A and B are shown apart, each in its own frame.
Chain A
Amino acid sequence: GAVVSQHPSRVICKSGTSVKIECRSLDFQATTMFWYRQFPKQSLMLMATSNEGSKATYEQGVEKDKFLINHASLTLSTLTVTSAHPEDSSFYICSATGQGKSLDEQFFGPGTRLTVL
């Protein structure tokens, strides 16, 4: 199998602050990482697709200046929620696929629950 970790698992922050979430592939090189979020009682929705070394591709309706994604290495992608507000409170989860893995396979991190006060 393949392992993807996320850090932190939970974060509580004040409105207006920025929060960085890390997604790491522990035992394979992730050429592509995906970021998702799920609001309470809603479906998990894709936010952006991140390919190592290039700019992320954002889904319609996701503000790229608010949700900064960096995928500077083959094992790490970060999502920074800038100037977070209560409406950004959500469950954020990443997944990864990459070298030696089928394009059909995505490996999911455990998720990060963000609460903005």
Chain B
Amino acid sequence: KQEVTQIPAALSVPEGENLVLNCSFTDSAIYNLQWFRQDPGKGLTSLLLIQSSQREQTSGRLNASLDKSSGRSTLYIAASQPGDSATYLCAVSDNNDMRFGAGTRLTVKP
């Protein structure tokens, strides 16, 4: 059974810092991996989708990498801003279901 872990559970940084969020999974036979942003009380917003054949994806200040063999993904946020404050979730999919990590709660202080 796939298990997804996110570290750290919470992170607080000053504005402007670059930061890395980590996601690990136990079964490397995945279809894809996604990173999401969750604002309090709102639905998830998809940030980046990495197919199993890909190593990384980039969107603006965000870069996500995938290392299937080691069961790891990282989300890199450059030049963080207070508006980046949210909970970040990763999720892995195989052909049957999707498993979510518990999330990392990010606070970017002005």
Residues of A participating in the B interface, judged by any CB pair closer than 8 Å = 32, 34, 36, 38, 41-46, 49, 91, 93, 95, 97, 102-104, 106, 108, 110-111, 113
Contacts and interface: CB of A to CB of B under 8 A. Distances in A.
B60 to A, nearest CB: 16
Interface in B39-85: 40-46, 49, 51
Contact of A43 (B34, B40, B105): B34
Contact of A41 (B32, B42, B45, B100): B32
Contact of B44 (A32, A46, A91, A110): A46
Interface residues of B, number: 22
Contacts of B93: 38, 91
A44 B43 contact: no
A110 B97 CA distance: 7
Interface of B is mostly: strand
A111 B49 contact: no
A93 B46 CA distance: 14
B51 to A, nearest CB: 7
A36 B41 contact: no
Given A44-B36, A93-B98, 9 more contacts: A36-B44, A38-B93, A44-B91, A45-B46, A97-B41, A103-B41, A104-B105, A106-B44, A108-B100
Nearest to B36: A44
B38 interface: yes
B26 to A, nearest CB: 17
Contacts of A34: 43-44
Contact of A104 (B32, B40, B51): B40
B87 interface: yes
A36 B43 contact: yes
A16 B51 CA distance: 32
A42 B51 CA distance: 9
A23 B103 CA distance: 22
A91 B98 contact: yes
Contacts of B34: 43-44
